[in-house]
Amino acid sequence: MLRYLTAGESHGPGLVTIVEGLPAGIPVDLEAINRDLERRQGGYGRGGRQKIERDRVRVLGGIRHGRTLGSPVALLVENRDWANWQDIMSPLPPDDPAELETRRAQSRRVTRPRPGHADLVGSLKYAHDDARNVLERASARETAARVAAGSLARQLLRQFGIEVVGHVVAIGPVEADPAVLGALSPQELADRAEASPVRCADPAASARMVAEIDAARAEGDSLGGIIEVIATGLPPGLGSHVHWDRRLDGALAGALMSIQAMKGVEIGLGFEAARRRGSAVHDPIAWSPERGYFRTSNRAGGTEGGMSTGMPLVIRVAQKPIATLYRPLPTVEMGTHQPAEASVERSDVCAVPAGAVICECVTAFELARFFLEKFGGDSLEEVRRAYDGYLAYLRTR
């Protein structure tokens, strides 16, 4: 089963991911991974950190001469900011008490926990008196490693014509016009989102989103938004109805909700389905010699019974506003219990465009995982044989 781990702190030497379970022989385009890393760094509303970082992937194992070996793939994304934090984030024990004092004094301790971040509850749970020990790992800097893993996994999907697109449909109260988005193919959506500073394919809404971010920044506030991910080219039958943890919809929702700041996931009509009658929710089934079974609508968003239906997968994800506010919320100083203003160093104002790239890559990873669960083999050719056999079988139904 395809899986991955990540490690690394936001201001440590770098982020590392190990992707285990990819078959041998997948052609790997490292520049495509670098492009996804660059896309994740971008978007209107980001803070000063992205001026320092130039995320690129370094392969530490698992790929030779441009193809996967079947062994675990280890990828490293270095933190350029580490150069400014080496002392504060040093993994070495201090040699003597004097040095400990210096390091502590310089250590940018965080004792005024930010509402909305992991600072307070992480410090309580892990018995830290400095929330830096929590925020370094709670930080969404970790998503650089997830994007590297997902971008690698999508290279398997591309071998089978599966594409995943993430774009922004709302920032704060500003929403893209569904009529404008609905007229675009997934490829057009991707191209237009790419050309927008906020990754939104509706140009008029995009301009209003930029203004909304400027207004929030001017008031020392922050913004969240809504991201849509669309995956095309999926066969029917990824995932399973037979057991809860084999359901594709459940795994996608879990993986997407596990991204920092994501607070809601809906597939297809999602919450809207609860308001309608069944006849206005379920997708009629049809059959033609050319297409076999198909649906005349896709309100389910591409899954039924925990399995892909073969229609496009359509997921929406709600991202909450950034936790660090330049006009900070009330908090309590850890230790003294005195009322205080929450800590603020530097921060993004809105990271929803970045969130769209992260959701895209996290979705790609889950789809690759389920793809290999169904068609898995040790080499790409073995996977292809299983996949082609399944498609041939479907044509007989």
Ligand X SMILES: Cc1cc2nc3c(=O)[nH]c(=O)nc-3n(C[C@H](O)[C@H](O)[C@H](O)COP(=O)(O)O)c2cc1C
Ligand Y SMILES: C=C(O[C@@H]1CC(C(=O)O)=C[C@@H](OP(=O)(O)O)[C@H]1O)C(=O)O
Q: Which does 345 bind (CB under 5 to 8 A by kind): ligand Y, ligand X, none?
A: ligand Y
CB 152, min distance to ligand Y, A: 18
Q: Is 137 annotated as a binding residue?
A: yes
Q: Residues 2, 181, 269, 323: which binds ligand X (CB under 6 A)?
A: 323
CB 307, min distance to ligand Y, A: 34
Q: How far apart are CA 238 and CA 368, in angstroms?
A: 10
In three state form, how does the secondary structure of the chain look?
A: CCEEEEECCCCCCEEEEEEECCCECCECCHHHHHHHHHHHHCCCCCCCHHHHCCCCEEEEECEECCEECCCCEEEEEECHHHHHCCCCCCCCCCCCHHHHHHHHHHCCCCCCCCCCCCHHHHHHHHCCCCCHHHHHHHCHHHHHHHHHHHHHHHHHHHCCCCEEEEEEEEECCEECCHHHHHCCCHHHHHHHHHHCCCCCCCHHHHHHHHHHHHHHHHCCCCECEEEEEEEECCCCCCECCCCHHHCHHHHHHHHHHCCCCEEEEEECCHHHHHHCCHHHCCCCEEEECCCEEEECCCCCCCEECCEECCCCEEEEEEECCCCCCCCCCEEECCCCCCEEECCCCCCCCECHHHHHHHHHHHHHHHHHHHHHHHHCCCEHHHHHHHHHHHHHHHHCC
- Interactions with ligand Y, residue window 8-27 (CB under 6 A): 10
Q: Which residue is nearest to ligand Y (CB)?
A: 49
CB 86, min distance to ligand Y, A: 15
Q: Is 324 annotated as a binding residue?
A: yes
Phi, psi of 234, deg, nearest 5: -80, 140
Q: Which does 190 bind (CB under 5 to 8 A by kind): ligand Y, ligand X, none?
A: none
Q: Is 356 in the site for ligand Y (CB under 6 A)?
A: no
- Interactions with ligand X, residue window 123-142 (CB under 6 A): 138-140
- Applying CB under 6 A, what is the total number of residues that bind ligand Y? 13
Nearest Cα to Cα of residue 175 among 206, 198, 216: 206
Q: Is 139 annotated as a binding residue?
A: yes
Phi, psi of 75, deg, nearest 5: -125, 140
Q: Is 144 in the site for ligand Y (CB under 6 A)?
A: yes
- Interactions with ligand X, residue window 41-60 (CB under 6 A): 47
Phi, psi of 189, deg, nearest 5: -55, -45
- Give whichever of 53 and 382 is closer to ligand Y, judged by the CB atom: 53
Binding track over 251-290 against ligand X, x by CB under 6 A: ---------xx-----------------------------
Binding track over 277-316 against ligand Y, x by CB under 6 A: ----------------------------------------
- Give whichever of 133 and 139 is closer to ligand X, judged by the CB atom: 139
Q: Residues 324, 331, 343, 363: which binds ligand X (CB under 6 A)?
A: 324
Q: Which does 240 bind (CB under 5 to 8 A by kind): ligand Y, ligand X, none?
A: none
CB 262, min distance to ligand Y, A: 12
Chain Cα centroid distance, residue 358: 3
252: tokens are 């996608």
Q: Which does 352 bind (CB under 5 to 8 A by kind): ligand Y, ligand X, none?
A: none
CB 261, min distance to ligand X, A: 4
Binding track over 35-64 against ligand Y, x by CB under 6 A: ------------x-x---x-----------
- Interactions with ligand Y, residue window 161-190 (CB under 6 A): none
Residues within the interface to ligand X (CB under 6 A): 47, 116-118, 138-140, 143, 260-261, 322-324, 347-348, 351, 354-355, 358
Residues within the interface to ligand Y (CB under 6 A): 10, 47, 49, 53, 139-141, 144, 260, 345-348
Residue numbers belonging to the annotated binding site for FMN: 137-139, 260-261, 305, 320-324, 346
